[in-house]
Amino acid sequence: MVKTKIKRGDMVIITTGNKSIKGKTGEVLEVIRKEGKDPRVIVAGLNIIKRHTKPSAGNPQGSIVEREASVHISNVALIDANTGKASKVKYQIQDGKKSRVLKSSGAII
């Protein structure tokens, strides 16, 4: 499994991609890390896709469902709460505890 610096609940900005999502911000709902595959994240309210569902006992009509699709983890960056801009993350050990720190401002996440 791949180690990532972005966790569930972090506020991120989409740095690359098509015009509809580039530059938008949202909260990470899920980090997908599968063996042998690149890590991806699902961001709330961004990269919306439509899925057609077949009729079933629970849903006899069938429908079109909108949901968030995943984005490659290299296309998102954490937001610095002070400046509102994208920032890289580093790890620091303070008092025997490992914590994530923003490189731009030095703020602990």
Instruction: Give the helix/strand (H/E) hosting 13.
Output: strand 11-14
- What pLDDT does residue 32 have? 94
CA distance 45 to 20: 12
Whether residue 23 contacts residue 42, with contact meaning beta carbons closer than 8 Å, is answered with no
Instruction: Write the CATH number for 76.
Output: 2.30.30.30
Place of tokens 């509809």: 20
Whether 44 is covered by a domain: the verdict is yes
- What pLDDT does residue 29 have? 96
Whether 49 is covered by a domain: the verdict is yes
- What pLDDT does residue 60 have? 92
Q: What is the mean pLDDT of residues 52-64?
A: 93
CA distance 2 to 38: 8
Domain residue limits at 71: 11-102
Whether residue 25 contacts residue 11, with contact meaning beta carbons closer than 8 Å, is answered with yes
Whether 74 is covered by a domain: the verdict is yes
CA distance 18 to 24: 11
Whole-prediction pTM: 0.83
pLDDT, tens only, 5-35:
999 999 999 999 888 899 999 999 999 998 8
Whether 3 is covered by a domain: the verdict is no
